[in-house]
Amino acid sequence: MKRTMLCFALLALLIAPALFAQSAAGGDVIKIGVINTQKILEESKIGKSIISDLEALRDRRKKELDNLKAEIDSLKRELETQANLLSQEAKREKEDALLKKQTGLRRNAEDFDKELRVKQDNALKEITGKIEKILKAIGKEQGYTIILNEAVALYFSTDIDITNEVIQRLNAQT
């Protein structure tokens, strides 16, 4: 998402001088639109669905990790309370079991982070692709010269914000 905003910012910096030169030379009127991608994600049907799915996955995986943590804590307590009663071999076996559980927890946490990132990236690619198609259609239909993400605009009038129209069109697709 940050890369997308950075790309929009760079694009705006590169295109703006050419647009203003065109206008000064008596070219067509420049028409600029602005969107709020965060609002689109939070308020569109597909965006809400994506957020809900990612939160459900995160909650499920967190519960799994919490259960593993509880097992580890139980093994630690068991080892501490029985340390003086266990033989060296039995104590070593419990320590090995504890170490394996701790390693498993770390691996599961890393796997979870990767899985969540991949699902989030894929979901964002999907919605971004749909938004781009909608923006191209709006741009052509309504004669926009450029449509920017509001994250790259230091100031803009709310009159040029087309976020709600994008949300409506996005909702109509689902």
SS (H, E, C) 131-152: HHHHHHHHHHHHCCCEEEEHHH
For residue 26, pLDDT beyond 50: no
Tell me which fold the domain 2-6+23-173 belongs to. Protein Binding, DinI Protein; Chain A (3.30.910)
Structure tokens that stand for 7 in this block: 């790309």
If one compares 85 and 163, the residue with the highest pLDDT of the two is 163
Beta bridge partners of residue 148, listed in sequence order: 34
pLDDT of the residue at 148: 93
pLDDT of the residue at 89: 86
* Spatial distance between the Cα atoms of 124 and 53, rounded to a whole number of angstroms: 12
Structural domain boundaries in the chain:
2-6+23-173
- AA letter at 136: K
For residue 19, pLDDT beyond 60: no
State the average pLDDT over residues 29-51.
Answer: 94
Residue 143's region, left for phi above 0, alpha for psi from -120 to 50, else beta, is left
Count H helices and E strands in the chain, helices first: 5, 2
46-76 pLDDT tens trace = 999 999 999 999 999 999 999 999 999 998 8
pLDDT of the residue at 1: 54
State the average pLDDT over residues 7-30.
Answer: 52
Residue 27's region, left for phi above 0, alpha for psi from -120 to 50, else beta, is beta
Beta bridge partners of residue 32, listed in sequence order: 146
* Spatial distance between the Cα atoms of 71 and 92, rounded to a whole number of angstroms: 18
- The confidence band for 127, taking pLDDT boundaries of 50, 70 and 90, is very high
